[in-house]
Amino acid sequence: MKKNTNIDNFECGYVYHIYTHANGKDLIFREEENYRYFLEKILKYIIPVAEIYAYA
């Protein structure tokens, strides 16, 4: 049986939209710790292999 790891494979040459907002006025990061966790994952998994074109 295949293990469900919930991991997407990114491919070279494509543009991916990673966002940090929810629909409407809902919050994704309810606490500062949640936002820091997200940034740690960006540094670990995205920065070594991709460029960030915009950050607001």
pLDDT over 70 for what percent of the chain?
77
For the stretch 25-35, pLDDT in tens is: 888 888 999 88
Strand locations in the chain (E): none
Overall average pLDDT of the 28-52 stretch: 88
How far is residue 19 from each of residues 1, 3, 37, 56, measured CA to CA in Å?
Answer: 32, 27, 14, 10
55 vs 1, higher pLDDT? 55
